[in-house]
């Protein structure tokens, strides 16, 4: 028995069902899509960060490259880019345009300064970090992040000059509040565009954006700001020593709109969007109440 298999040939003819070489595809379609997406992200970062190419042009180049890498026909790629861009811009442009106008009105009227000064006064100097984080969170709803930062950064310099603390102690909480709203809370362009692309209800985007964003703002703002300011003493640059608000405190008190009016105007779009979502869940999408709230909440028109 020990020699029973000694002279048995082990070629493929004797084991046709098991030892025949298997032919496998080198790469599955799913793997191709994943690699194309990863390659597109890396190429986009390289074009924008290293070559300093404008982000819009870089997005177009990467979109064309990813389409070709996944096997799309050139005509189909052009149609996809055109339709996708047109649908997204058609949804976002109305909200962003009105929001930009509203933000400019708050800027020139002194409404942003009024909100910041009121919150700082209510919270007090010892809790000014929390006031700046909340100010950034609220102001970034109608005002773009970069514009809001330029408007509010004099407060950071003034507080640092008054207290002698590091700029990071006040700047980090302000930036955390601005960044969280800019990234998570409609009607800023990013969350609006994402909600359109994935078909998400804006009310839920606001709700879960706030639930996720506020804890992130607290950790990355006042908590981290206190931690890093104790280790890095960032002084006010000499060329910023005379930086101040565009309006004096006296002008803000006499000419700027009231805090309650500003806060109600800022929160009104969010309230309408959330009420639209709640009414749809309670009364049904086809009810007259839902239709009325949908008409009131501008982003839901689309």
Q: Residue 300: which pLDDT band, with cuts at 50, 70 and 90? A: very low
Q: In whole angstroms, how far apart are CA 288 and each of 59, 230, 300?
A: 42, 57, 15
Q: Which two tokens stand for residue 255?
A: 């000419």
d(CA 125, CA 44): 43
d(CA 183, CA 200): 15
Whether residues 55 and 129 share a domain: the answer is no
What per-residue confidence (pLDDT) applies to 152? 77
What per-residue confidence (pLDDT) applies to 21? 47
Q: Residue 186: which pLDDT band, with cuts at 50, 70 and 90? A: confident
The average pLDDT across 229-234 equals 90
- Residues of the chain above pLDDT 90, percent: 16
* pLDDT above 90 for 256: no
**Selected residue with higher pLDDT from 147 and 172:** 172
* pLDDT above 90 for 271: no
Domain range for 185: 95-301
Indicate whether 9 belongs to any domain. Answer: no
Tally of domains in the chain: 2
Give the distance from CA 182 to its chain's centroid.
5
- 142 contacts 266 by C-beta, under 8 angstroms: yes
Indicate whether 146 belongs to any domain. Answer: yes
The average pLDDT across 45-65 equals 89
Indicate whether 240 belongs to any domain. Answer: yes
What per-residue confidence (pLDDT) applies to 228? 93
Indicate whether 264 belongs to any domain. Answer: yes
* pLDDT above 50 for 52: yes
Whether residues 163 and 272 share a domain: the answer is yes
Whether residues 39 and 116 share a domain: the answer is no
Q: What is the 3-state secondary structure (H, E, C) of the chain?
A: CCCCCCCCCCCCCCCCCCCCCCCCCCCCHHHHHHHHHHHHHHHHHHHHHHCCCCHHHHHHHHHHHHHHHCCCCHHHHHHHHHHHHHHHHHHHHHHHHHHHHHHHHHHHHCHHHHHHHHHHHHHCHHHHHHHHHHHHHHHCCCCCHHHHHHHHHHHHHHHHHHHCCCHHHHHHHHHHHHHHHHHHCCCCHHHHHHHHHHCCCHHHHHHHHHHHHHHHHHHHHHHHHHHHHCCCCCCCCHHHCCCCCCCCHHHHHHHCCCHHHHHHHHHHHHHHHHHHHHHHHHHCCCCHHHHHHHHHCHHHHC
What per-residue confidence (pLDDT) applies to 296? 61
Whether residues 135 and 282 share a domain: the answer is yes
Indicate whether 149 belongs to any domain. Answer: yes
What per-residue confidence (pLDDT) applies to 211? 92
What per-residue confidence (pLDDT) applies to 163? 76
Indicate whether 89 belongs to any domain. Answer: no
Whether residues 248 and 202 share a domain: the answer is yes
* pLDDT above 50 for 89: yes
State yes or no: cis peptide before 187, omega within 30 of 0. Answer: yes
* pLDDT above 90 for 221: yes
* pLDDT above 70 for 301: no
**Selected residue with higher pLDDT from 38 and 195:** 38
């Amino acid at each position: 028995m020990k020699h029973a298999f000694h002279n048995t040939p082990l070629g493929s003819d004797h084991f046709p069902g098991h030892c025949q070489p298997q032919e496998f595809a080198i790469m599955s379609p799913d793997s191709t899509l994943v690699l194309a997406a990863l390659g597109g992200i890396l190429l986009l970062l390289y074009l924008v960060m290293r070559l300093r190419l404008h982000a819009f042009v870089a997005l177009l180049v990467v979109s064309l490259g990813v389409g070709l890498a996944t096997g799309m026909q050139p005509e189909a790629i052009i149609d996809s880019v055109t339709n996708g861009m047109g649908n997204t811009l058609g949804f976002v442009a109305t909200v962003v345009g009105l929001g930009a106008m509203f933000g400019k009105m708050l800027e020139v009227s002194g409404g942003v300064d009024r909100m910041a000064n009121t919150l700082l006064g209510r919270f007090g100097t010892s809790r000014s970090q929390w006031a700046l984080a909340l100010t950034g969170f609220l102001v970034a709803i109608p005002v773009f992040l970069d514009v809001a930062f330029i408007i509010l950064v004099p407060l950071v310099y003034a507080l640092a000059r008054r207290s002698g603390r590091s700029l990071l102690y006040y700047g980090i909480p302000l930036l955390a509040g601005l960044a969280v709203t800019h990234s998570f809370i409609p009607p800023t362009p990013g969350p609006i565009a994402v909600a359109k692309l994935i078909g998400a209800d804006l009310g839920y985007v606001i709700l879960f954006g706030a639930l996720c964003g506020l804890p992130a703002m607290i950790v990355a703002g006042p908590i981290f700001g206190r931690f890093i300011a104790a280790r890095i003493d960032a002084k006010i640059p000499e060329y910023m020593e005379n930086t101040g608000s565009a309006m004096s405190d006296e002008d803000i008190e006499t000419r700027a709109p009231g805090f309650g009016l500003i806060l109600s105007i800022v929160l009104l779009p969010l309230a309408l969007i959330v009420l639209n979502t709640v009414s749809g869940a309670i009364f049904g999408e086809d009810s007259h109440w839902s239709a009325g709230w949908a008409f009131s909440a501008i982003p839901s028109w689309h």
